[in-house]
Amino acid sequence: MELWKRTLYVCLFGAFMASVGLSQAAPLIPLYLQDLGVLDQADLANWSGLAMGMTYLMVALFAPFWGKLADRKGRKLILLRASLGMTITNALLGFAQAPEHIVIIRILNGMISGFFSGSITLVATQTPQAQTGWALGLLSAANLGGSLLGPMIGGYIGGLFGIRYAFFIVSALLGTAFLSTLFFVKEEFTPQPKGASQSLSTLKASIPDWKGLIYISVGSFIFAFTTMATAPILSVFVQQIVGQGAEHIALLAGLAFTVTGLAQMVASSVLGKYIDKLGPRFILWTSFIYVGLVTIPQAFVTDIYTLCILRFLLGIGLGGLLPGINTYLSSITPKAFAGQVFAYNQSTLFMGYFIGSLGGSFIASQWGFGTMFITTGAIIALTGVFLKVTLGRTRTANH
């Protein structure tokens, strides 16, 4: 098997497990907090939100540091660090004795995570340019699949063996990602000499399409912001549609989430091939406009079936965004700076997720769900128009 393909398959497995490790705690932490004595509903909501939100904030803040380290010491090292670190932090969660312990461990989890961004860098630098879109599309699908199945896996294991043991089992699975990376990933990398310049000015001088990088970063933030804006309040919107007294509200809300994720996961791998044929720029701006146009009609939905259809169509468009963004970045970034560039983009994404989760709830609470869908849809569609106008033909960096 070719080296780049073996690396890709190991990274697919590792990205899936790392995503499971981050997301599987979502249904478990509120229950775990109750076991630890947090019984007041307001306190439970605050501790749960703090434990989940701080993880994503730490990922955003620490990603650039790990990216620079990857460019100096190698990308495989970053994958080993992230998988081993998450193995340890998930095991530590099983020993927590107080809410403060959970929050501290989740902060550590966010600080040391970064397997997915490291995988993007490693795959992008090893994969032949003509197949980069396909490979990064598969990687996005694996990461998304882990985030979709993670809560289900965590909930199932927690119900079967107990919440503490769920963290131990997921820790063991993450350990297999560490071992597979250790033994099966081979990276030909020459470490940069100690003290080598990695300043922003050096980075700017090394990337021929610096403006394109800035524009893509803006697109990444808006993608994350608008995607996450609907997530915290989608269940409440479903409840408004079907009525508070309706049966199976939780199931219907879960369905609205799941159909989007499934469509996005499938579309990521399929659209990755078209990115290689048509170029990332075309897929990017068309996907942004399409997602915006599918988001706006959700403001006028009056039944759950129409909402699920629109959410499925939304997922198809979302499937082209991350692979398109990562492929474009790969095409304009020299290998020596790939870790830094992808880490900055990862930081931009997670900051968008963090702010979007707050911004969407604020818009909906002040002006209603309809305004929230129309506003976010218009923003992301206009971003597509902006990228069509500003992104010229990709000026490929010297790889």
What is the structure's pLDDT at 375? 92
pLDDT value at 395 more than 50? no
* % of residues, the chain, pLDDT over 90: 25
What is the structure's pLDDT at 118? 84
Tell whether 341 and 241 lie within a shared domain.
yes
Residue-wise DSSP of 34-51: HHTT--SHHHHHHHHHHH
Residues 173-216 pLDDT 10s: 889 989 999 999 888 776 665 555 456 677 777 787 788 888 99
Mean pLDDT over the full length of the chain: 83
What is the structure's pLDDT at 398? 46
What is the structure's pLDDT at 55? 81
Give the pTM. 0.74
Number of independent structural domains in the chain = 2
Q: Could you tell me how many helices (H) and strands (E) the chain has, helices first? A: 17, 0
Asked whether residue 76 is assigned to any structural domain, the reply reads yes
Asked whether residue 2 is assigned to any structural domain, the reply reads yes
What is the structure's pLDDT at 393? 53
What per-residue string of b and e applies to 161-193 under the rule 16 or more CB within 10 Å gives b? eebeebbbbbbebbbebbebbeeebeeebeeee
Last residue of a domain, one of 183, 213, 243: 183
Amino acid at 114: G
CB distance 276 to 135 below 8 Å: no
What is the structure's pLDDT at 368? 84
What is the structure's pLDDT at 252? 76
Domain residues for the domain of 274 are 205-399
pLDDT value at 348 more than 80? yes
Residues 243-266 pLDDT 10s: 766 666 656 776 787 788 888 888
Angle between helices 28-35 and 163-184 (to 10 degrees): 130
CB distance 259 to 304 below 8 Å: no
Q: Mean per-residue pLDDT for 348-368?
A: 80
Last residue of a domain, one of 183, 214, 231: 183
CB distance 249 to 242 below 8 Å: yes
Amino acid at 284: L
Residue 89: pLDDT band by 50, 70, 90 thresholds?
very high
What is the structure's pLDDT at 304? 87
Q: How far is CA 373 from CA 260, 289, 298, in A?
A: 15, 14, 6
Cα angle for residues 217, 68, 187 (degrees, 5° grid): 105
What is the structure's pLDDT at 166? 85
How many whole angstroms separate alpha carbon 272 and alpha carbon 279? 10
* % of residues, the chain, pLDDT over 70: 90
Tell whether 219 and 166 lie within a shared domain.
no
**Within a 13 Å sphere around the CA of 342, how many CA atoms are in the beta-carbon half?**
34
CB distance 247 to 296 below 8 Å: no
CA of residue 378 relative to chain centroid, distance: 22
Tell whether 140 and 234 lie within a shared domain.
no
Tell whether 229 and 367 lie within a shared domain.
yes
What is the structure's pLDDT at 249? 67
Tell whether 59 and 162 lie within a shared domain.
yes
Residue-wise DSSP of 137-205: HHHHHHHHHHHHHHHHHHHHHHHHH-HHHHHHHHHHHHHHHHHHHHHH------PPPTT----HHHHHH
CB distance 259 to 237 below 8 Å: no
Domain harbouring 367, CATH code: 1.20.1250.20
Range name among 20-29, 114-123, 160-169, 367-376 with the lowest pLDDT average: 20-29
Amino acid at 215: Y
Tell whether 276 and 378 lie within a shared domain.
yes
Residues 55-80 pLDDT 10s: 878 888 888 888 878 878 888 888 99
| Torsion sign over Cα 192, 196, 197, 202 | negative
pLDDT value at 300 more than 90? yes
Tell whether 171 and 117 lie within a shared domain.
yes
Q: Mean per-residue pLDDT for 333-344?
A: 81
What is the structure's pLDDT at 192? 63
Asked whether residue 26 is assigned to any structural domain, the reply reads yes
Query: 313 or 276, which is more confident?
Result: 313
Tell whether 381 and 262 lie within a shared domain.
yes
How many whole angstroms separate alpha carbon 225 and alpha carbon 6? 34
pLDDT value at 53 more than 80? no
What is the structure's pLDDT at 396? 47
